[in-house]
Chains A and B, each alone.
Chain A
Amino acid sequence: MFIEIFLFELNYRLRRPATWAYFGILFIYALFLSIGGLSGGSEKVFLNSPASLASTLNVISIFGIMLASAIMGVPVYRDIEHGTQNYLFSYPISEKGYILGRFAGSMATLFLVSLGLILGFMIGYAIGPYAGYEPAERYASFNLWHYLQPSLIFYWSNFFFTGCIFFALVALTKRIMLAYAGGAILFIIYLVTLTLTQDIENKELVSLLDPFGFGALNNTIQYWTPEEQNTLTIPLKDTVLWNRILWLSIGVLIFLYTVFRFDFQRFLYKKLGSKKKSMVDEKEVSSAAVFTKIPKVSQVFTGTHNLKLLFSLSWMEFRNITKDLFFKAILIAAVAFLFFDGWFGNPTYGTPMLPMTYYMLEIKDFTYVILIFILIVFMTGEVLHRERGVKYEQIYGALPLPNWVIYGSKFLALVLICFILVNMILVSGVLNQVLQGYFNFQFDMYFTDLYLIEFPKYITYVMLAFFVHALIAKKFLGHVITIAIWAGLFAINSLADIDYNMALYGYAPGYTISDMNGFGHFLAAQNWFRLYWLGFGILLTVVGLLFWKRGTDSGMKARLKEARQRLGGKVKSAMVLGALIWIGAGAYVYNNVSVINSYRTVKERRVLSANYEKELSKYNYLNQPKFTDIKVDVDLVPEERYATMSGTFEMVNKGDTPIDSLHINWGNNELLQTELMKLAVNDIELKEGKVFEIFGYKIYKLPQKMMPGDTVTMKLALKRGYKGFPNEGSGSDIVYNGTFLNDSFFPSFGYNLQGEITSDKYRKEYDLPEKEYVAPPQDDKWGLSNLLFNDDADYVTFEGTVSTAPDQIAIMPGYLQKEWEDNGRKYYHYKMEGEMDYFFNVSSARYDIYKEDWKDKDGNNVAIEIFHHPSHSYNVKRFSKAVRHSFDYFSENYGPYQYRQMRIIEFPRYQSFAQSFPNTVPYAESFGWTADFSDPEDLDYAYMVTSHEVAHQWWGHQITPSATRGANQISESMAEYSSLMVMKKEYGVDAMQDFLKRELDSYLRGRAGENKFEKTLLDNDTQAYVWYRKGGLILYGLQDYIGEKTLNQGFKKFIDSAAFRPKAPFATSNEWYGYIKEVTPDSLQYYLEDSFEKITLYANKVSEATFKKLDNNTFEVQLTVESGKNYYDGNGKELSAPEESNLLDIAVFQNDTIIDGKTKKVPLILEKKWIKPGKSTFTFVTNKEPIKAGIDPYNKMIDRIPDDNLKSLDELE
């Protein structure tokens, strides 16, 4: 019996076009991914490495739940839908045979469909090396196990258990909608776990609950280096194993329950749980029936009446949708996401942000929009198939309603739904703000974003869904195709680097809402793009109307014929209207993005970079004059987003060769457009010599050769600004409120290494040599005689005037001399005292200023000024406190502060960083200004980052690193270390561990994604994860070994020797390392070598930890630890495991205490011990009851599994 039903099912499915459509979609998608070489991650990882195959298969299986529900939901339902259940079940078939047969047949179908992807990958990765989209060396040779292993543990097992669940849901409840809803719920659980794993504290638990094992997989491979990703398969152990066991057994149990629970009787009866009985009819015909005359009525079929019907039907359809359980379930889930994303805030270093309105709006793009899109697609399917679903379509179709009334009413209902959906964002946002006690609702911001940008966007989704669902008369296939289109757009946009928004349905340039600048210059682009897509959407919708199936014939020929008939005058005019809007708005948009601004594809930009290097790298290291004195007048016109600048620049030839021409980079006018008005040297106008227009690189012959030591004066006047709107790009240098220009706004001299392609993959593609380093070696003459931050000057004197809008304050380097108003503009005159490095910014916005003073030991005053957006005054005192504490610590340990002021300047959140210029720190709006530091357990990153930036006044602006490899460690690692010390003093050792774990996590993830090879602290020139994360960790560990005071003495010596060094050779990492070595005892020199010269990772853990109570009320702790230390090469390949002992912390703790809301560990024993790699056992006696014990319990060493360093103690009897 089972066999017949199984074969029948399989045979039936194999003849369904949908089965092959699903297979084909997976197959083509796999080809697309594999041949196109689309993957994230490091360039050093093979596209088909075991780790990336596992990730890809896993991710696709998550979206594969749609297939699982489509295939596994229908087999039993089909019998209900077609009414076959009544006679089918009267045949002598057993319930188990029926259910198992249908199940196995469908599961086999699902398995078969799933092979489409694997087959596609196998073929794609075989063709890939020859197809030329991706270099051949990125493909590893074929290995069947690398496909099978992850398929078994993730891909198929996910299909299997979700398939079990969907099958069971329908078999038990007879409701196909539950299969969708089940899929949605699993997806939501997945998203919840995904959100929760962002908190690194409970990653393990959460990833156990992730239905698809994505989290567990990710946790396993997240720190794998490229080498490991290329060679290892996912070990089936720990969380991965338990996760799989958990979810597979859930699937199997549910299925078994179904097998035993299912019986035909229950299945045959009306709706489950329905108590309704069929009514007994009156047998007698009442006399009323005989004598009733049917009255004559008047009928109206006017346009007005149709319009009325349109609205009443829309309203009815709208109410039908809102009554739908599936709709409610998904909407509730979507809004819950919206709410909780808002509730948990936007944590930076784990610290939440205040519920700012812009954030309440931004979270709609996290998860909400995905669920909303799915909701729109499914509801469109429901609405267009509503009558068919209850077999009412024939009566309905024959009613005297014009097509546009029926179709239009359904469309309007969805539009109304969209309106509700955008308002959910408003409701959730405001509710969140109220509940969090935040009452600065910015309703204008809500309304602009939701009604002008988001609402039309959802409508374009509806239009696409209507188009597809109208063309494809099969509901499920329609869902799959619409979602596939959306996923396809996403894939070609984010993976295939196709970013021309006019070509991607529904897309528009990215935009950022800022408190300072509102929607700023982004709004116009948004509006025009929305209009453009609405026009196209009208076309889609009307084409949908032509093909939408009214009636009973779904043959293509018949529908084509029908479509031709429907193509009447009104329909044509609607199409013309759509086309006019589309083309009209399109012309305007095109003019802006491609004519006024120049659009380049990602590839074109790469070719440009490659050509830049090929044509101009011969000018690299060319001797050019250096600025020594700068006087500028800058007129900012933020209202129109441009600025004019005229300046007088004193320049000296500091090199040892004569200079006969100036090489000036004006920028390539892609976004920021430059108009040169004057360029003269010693009052002689310069003539353009050789011009490389496309790179904005021009060579000017000097009127007279500059001999070494010669000084000349350059006069320059130019206008720079933005026009129209581009395809992408924030264009944030000059904005309506919150202008932030740095010295790159001024032209620079000579060839710029930053303009080169860094990726070796692309370098090879364009015949450029692989490039290991950007900066020259530590002993390079050019490198030693130039400064890292800007090679156009060493130190300069500066004076300038800046004008701006009358309600704004403009800031430049130097001390404010004078401010005045003239001609309706505000003017500010600044002058720097003494010299500074040529690294500065110009800012302008409507600011409030918070002022405080700091006095050094000798009573000299430093003015602390914090320029902030008027409503962002929440944390200004925190910034100011950090400045004062930093000054205290640094002036005591490193030497005096060199200026009389310290300015912190907020700028809009188009970028999120803080940057340290001499006595000035611009600080992004999103970075601390609106953070919520009310929980003392949370990291006070405003304090930490401020302290880091203040430290740069010493490490960066007193010691100005040379332009050599490793030199940036002097700036960044030292600033990181310095801020850690200030923070440790304020917040204590325990707060540090939390932060260090984050540093460790960033470091380990950084090296796992490395595209070239990991560099050491001494020669690293570009890797931020090395100079911030590793640098901070290593120096923190070092001060713990040798003492903070000792280490600082070394640093002070370095400052004394290198601060304000007037000329080359400027400071290098070797010089810095020398001072460190000097203060480190011989016994610990191994740590310096391991840390600065090598890549070293520890693998420490506690294997056993017990204690027993002794007689005299003391406790004996027995602790067995395993220690390991490995050296790695830059690719992450293990080199060797040295046998020598290392000095490591061993500790025993009692219970944690909480002081002022902060958790603190309380050590009973904390000792540094020389521990040999391998197992060691320690015995301690404590006076108090010990709770936990560990090796390196504060995570000072670099260790890939920091959490197993500490273990709770078991008591021995």
Chain B
Amino acid sequence: MELKIENLSKTYSNGVNALKDITLTIPQGMFGLLGPNGAGKSSLMRTMATLQQADSGSITMGDIDILKDTDKVREMLGYLPQEFGIYPKVTSYKMLDHIASLKGVSNKGERKELVEALLNKTNLWHVRNKSLGTYSGGMKQRFGIAQALIGSPKLIIVDEPTAGLDPAERVRFHNLLSEIGENTIIILSTHIVEDVANLCKNMAIICLGEVVAQGNPTELIQRVQGKIWKKMIDKKELDNYKSNFQVISTHLKAGSTVIHVYNETMPDETFEPSPANLEDVYFTEISSRLNEVTV
């Protein structure tokens, strides 16, 4: 089963045009949605998660119209919002049990087994009887994924799940996600390129509400391979380079500034070729649309 987004557009009542004619095909497996903050990732995710309506366009999954058959979608949906809260005085065990029953897991025995498994899986077993208000950011996030996994969802949407997590937490989180079955669509939105590079078979980059690239990461890297050039420059010269070249990113390396430039051929001999990675792909796409890029 594939998820198809066709010509999806959305303008909020405050005039923000969050989604512009988005068309995407999302196959099973892990799908990365990459984009800078404010690109429209969350709008897209929330629309897929039945939390808001689009102005035009459609989203279908098999024969289910996600925008209309919201009840059906929710039956097979696991959703972890970018920002969420939970009742601070309830324990994770109780809360998961409660959500499981709301997700239709009505058999008590099954529910118990499921909740215990999820708590183990997300490494929350030892704090299962502590109230959620006392959880650290990482624990809360793991709880978030645990609730999203209830009921073997066919469609899992996780919105910026690793924001604010320390590196170890991120690794654990990645492991968790990667263990989910293959016949599930998992959509992961993030602005961290590494997340996608590590996890996703397919991806799309969106910027300013538009899809600017999609495909599998290797293919996308292939497209820019040989077109990325780097140079160590003096910081004062940056503006000069920016006006002459498509500078896609700048890094600091041992106190000096290294710029990456996208160009079909070597701009001049002061540049040296740089092997392309996903980060270069990403910055190539967004630097042409957003004015300033600094990493």
Contacts and interface: CB of A to CB of B under 8 A. Distances in A.
A305 B106 contact: yes
Interface string B111-134: 101100110111101110010011
Contacts of A395: 79-81, 84, 86, 99, 144, 147
A394 B101 contact: no
A857 interface: no
A402 B102 CA distance: 10
A1009 B42 CA distance: 66
Given A294-B121, A295-B113, A394 B126 contact: no
A283 B136 CA distance: 12
Nearest to B77: A398
B206 to A, nearest CB: 18
A286 interface: yes
Given A295-B113, A297-B152, A394-B49, A276 B134 contact: yes
Given A294-B121, A390-B88, A392-B84, A299 B105 contact: yes
A1135 interface: no
A562 interface: yes
A824 B128 CA distance: 78
A610 B111 CA distance: 77
A398 B51 contact: yes
A300 B104 contact: yes
B49 A561 contact: no
Interface stretch (B67-75, B209-217, B246-254): B67-75
B102 to A, nearest CB: 5
A397 B117 CA distance: 24
B178 interface: no
A296 B134 contact: no
Nearest to A397: B51
B138 to A, nearest CB: 6
B245 to A, nearest CB: 36
Contacts of B120: 286, 288-289, 292
Interface in B172-189: 172, 175
B199 interface: no
Contacts, number: 151
Interface stretch (A550-558, A842-850, A979-987, A1114-1122): A550-558
Contact of B84 (A394, A550, A558): A394
Contacts of B133: 276
B288 interface: no
A607 to B, nearest CB: 50
A292 B117 contact: yes
A297 B102 contact: no
Contacts of B100: 297
Contact of A392 (B85, B104, B172): B85
Interface in B41-75: 46, 49-53, 55, 68, 70-71, 74-75
B53 A552 contact: no
B86 A390 contact: yes
Interface string A549-591: 0111111111001100100000000000000000000000000
A305 B80 CA distance: 24
Contact of B123 (A276, A282, A305, A309): A282
Listed residue (B53, B71, B117, B121) with the most chain A CB atoms within 10 angstroms of its CB: B53
Contacts of A858: none
A399 interface: yes
A312 interface: yes
A394 B144 CA distance: 11
A392 B86 contact: yes
A300 B134 CA distance: 33
B106 to A, nearest CB: 5
Contacts of A299: 75, 103-106, 151
A872 to B, nearest CB: 54
Contacts of A144: none
Given A390-B85, A553-B52, A399 B103 contact: yes
B103 A400 contact: yes
A281 B117 contact: no
A220 B96 CA distance: 63
Contact of A394 (B51, B114, B152): B51
Interface in A266-315: 276-283, 285-286, 288-289, 292-301, 305, 308-309, 312-313
B103 A555 contact: no
Contacts of A399: 74, 99, 102-103
Nearest to B71: A402
Given A399-B99, A555-B12, A297 B79 contact: no
B136 A398 contact: no
B139 interface: yes
A703 B197 CA distance: 116
A304 to B, nearest CB: 10
A1 interface: no
B295 to A, nearest CB: 22
Listed residue (A280, A391, A394, A555) with the most chain B CB atoms within 10 angstroms of its CB: A394
Contacts of A370: none
Interface residues of B, number: 62
Contacts of B138: 281
Given A392-B87, A553-B52, A297 B105 contact: yes
Contacts of A301: 71, 75, 104
A558 B53 contact: yes
Nearest to A294: B117
B136 A279 contact: yes
Contacts of A312: 101
Given A279-B139, A281-B138, A551 B46 contact: yes
A396 B107 CA distance: 21
A1167 to B, nearest CB: 75
A472 to B, nearest CB: 15
B51 A400 contact: no
B271 interface: no
A298 B114 CA distance: 11
Nearest to A388: B85
Contacts of A551: 46, 50-52
Interface in A367-418: 390-392, 394-395, 397-402
A683 B121 CA distance: 106
Contacts of A558: 13, 52-53
Contacts of B127: 279
A565 B52 CA distance: 12
Contacts of B13: 554-558
Interface in B1-40: 12-14
B50 A397 contact: yes
A309 B101 CA distance: 8
Contacts of A550: 51
A759 B285 CA distance: 83
Nearest to A390: B85
Contacts of B99: 395, 399
Nearest to A296: B152
B211 to A, nearest CB: 21
A87 to B, nearest CB: 15
B237 interface: no
A622 B8 CA distance: 88
A941 to B, nearest CB: 56
Contacts of B49: 394, 398
B52 A298 contact: no
A278 B53 contact: no
The 3 nearest A-B residue pairs measured at CB = A555-B13, A391-B85, A551-B51
Interface of A: 276-283, 285-286, 288-289, 292-301, 305, 308-309, 312-313, 390-392, 394-395, 397-402, 550-558, 561-562, 565
22 contacts: A277-B134, A279-B134, A281-B138, A288-B120, A289-B121, A292-B120, A292-B121, A295-B110, A297-B100, A297-B105, A297-B111, A298-B105, A298-B107, A305-B106, A390-B86, A390-B87, A394-B84, A399-B103, A401-B74, A551-B52, A557-B13, A561-B53
Given A289-B123, A402-B71, 15 more contacts: A278-B134, A278-B136, A279-B127, A280-B136, A288-B120, A288-B125, A294-B152, A295-B113, A297-B151, A299-B103, A301-B75, A305-B104, A309-B101, A552-B46, A556-B13
